[in-house]
């Protein structure tokens, strides 16, 4: 298995592609699945599913993402990216390798599967559109998906450990864009203009004040503006500011309060400055919330405490399992699947390696076997 997993991962690592534009990646995945006893199902614009029909009443789904990042790789190795300016810097090549390895293990056991399986290969996770695309295709309804699992390779956690928590696990993410429209005049006669730069700066300051005042300290949330563009010349009052940032939380009520607060701040600065504000609060991913009952079963199965069947080759030993104390502020569009069926998303530790989204991200491929083993035990035991 290890040789095949390594081969899949390295071949995919060489051909990183972005967003929904994944012709080589999808072709590789389709080719690897084409010899297996499964139905290949196109889903959405670029997605691909593999359905293993065991003739059972329920179907368990497993998800991998396929897209890479617009990052120039710095690693020097024989499997480095062959596509300039693109890199699998978030481990999606490893996710695909795990799911392909899992498909091969299901094929080896094809005559004795305890349920049906739907394996999802999704585009555009990094741009937060791919999961919606898959769900809107109707595959969950068509194949009667009863629950869904997914994983993410994660630097900084114990190598080979499975990290998860019940309930809120990863944050909802929105990306607010604020446009401020003023009136441009020469700086020497500034009083005749409307200063979009100053109005924008006041907005940022008052938005932060609003966020601090709106919630008690134990409410986990994040509001940060990280990009500010304004003006065209050093001696001309700016007529337009663009402010962009990120907003993260775990509860709908918290997000709604932040949105209301941002609009109220904008209205206040409009009255004070005379500038006009437009706010776009993009529809992002909801929070990843692991189903409580399914999480309990998930934990017991992986820790060897559940009375359940084991796939052949599984010695029944406990996986290294870490129950996270706090949710994370990072986001994941796996949450979209959890609105279709109860689901659990978990991290697979990589040890001390370069961080995700870095130019030198790489990892010990032995962890891929842990991912396949975890999926197998969940498929048989949950």
CB 238 within 8 Å of CB 196: yes
pLDDT at 217: 87
Quick one: pLDDT at residue 108?
95
What pLDDT does residue 138 have?
97
In the prediction, which pLDDT does 137 show?
97
Residue 163: the pLDDT is: 98
Which regions in the chain score pLDDT beneath 50?
none
Residue 319's pLDDT is: 96
User: Tell me, what's the pLDDT at 245?
Assistant: 96
CA distances to 63, 191, 244, 260, 278 from 241, in Å? 40, 18, 10, 21, 11
Give the predicted TM-score (pTM) of the model: 0.92
Which of 66, 49, 222 lies closest to 148, judged by CA? 49
pLDDT tens-digit readout, 189-208: 999 999 999 999 999 999 99
Closest CA to 120 of 64, 38, 67: 64
Domains and CATH numbers, the chain: 2-171+286-381 (3.40.630.10), 176-281 (3.30.70.360)
* pLDDT value of position 283: 77
Q: Give 111-145 pLDDT, tens digit per residue.
A: 889 999 999 999 999 986 899 999 999 999 999 99
Q: What is the pLDDT of residue 7?
A: 98
């Amino acid at each position: 298995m290890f040789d095949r997993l390594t081969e899949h991962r390295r071949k995919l690592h060489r051909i990183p592609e972005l967003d929904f534009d994944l012709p080589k990646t999808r072709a590789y995945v389709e080719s690897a699945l084409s010899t297996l006893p499964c139905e290949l199902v196109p889903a959405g614009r670029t997605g691909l599913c593999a359905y293993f029909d065991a003739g059972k009443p329920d179907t368990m789904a497993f998800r991998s993402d396929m897209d890479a990042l617009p990052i120039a790789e710095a690693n020097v190795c024989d499997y480095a990216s062959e596509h300039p300016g693109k890199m699998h810097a978030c481990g999606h090549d490893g996710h695909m390798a795990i799911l392909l390895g899992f498909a091969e293990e299901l094929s080896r056991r094809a005559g004795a599967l305890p349920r049906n399986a739907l394996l999802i290969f999704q585009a555009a996770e990094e741009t937060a559109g791919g999961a919606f695309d898959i769900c809107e295709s109707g595959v969950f309804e068509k194949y009667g998906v009863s629950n869904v699992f997914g994983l993410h390779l994660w630097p900084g956690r114990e190598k080979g450990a499975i990290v998860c928590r019940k309930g809120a696990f990863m944050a909802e993410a929105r990306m607010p864009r604020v446009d401020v429209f003023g009136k441009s005049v020469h700086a020497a006669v500034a009083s005749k203009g409307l200063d979009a730069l100053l109005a924008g700066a006041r907005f940022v300051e008052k938005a932060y004040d609003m966020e601090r005042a709106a919630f008690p300290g134990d409410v986990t949330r994040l509001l940060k503006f990280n990009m500010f563009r304004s003006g065209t010349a050093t001696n001309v009052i700016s007529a337009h500011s663009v402010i962009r940032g990120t907003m993260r939380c775990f509860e709908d009520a918290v997000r709604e309060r932040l949105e209301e607060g941002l609009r109220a701040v904008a209205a206040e600065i409009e009255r004070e400055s005379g500038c006009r504000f437009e706010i776009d609060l993009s529809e992002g991913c909801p929070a990843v919330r692991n189903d409580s009952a399914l999480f309990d079963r998930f934990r017991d199965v992986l820790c060897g405490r559940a009375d359940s069947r084991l796939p052949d080759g599984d010695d029944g030993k406990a996986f290294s399992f870490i129950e996270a104390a706090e949710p994370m502020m990072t986001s994941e569009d796996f949450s979209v699947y959890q609105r279709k069926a109860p689901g659990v998303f978990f991290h697979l530790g990589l040890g001390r390696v370069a961080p995700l989204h870095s130019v030198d991200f790489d990892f010990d491929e032995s962890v891929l076997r842990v991912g396949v083993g975890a999926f197998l035990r969940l498929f048989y035991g949950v």
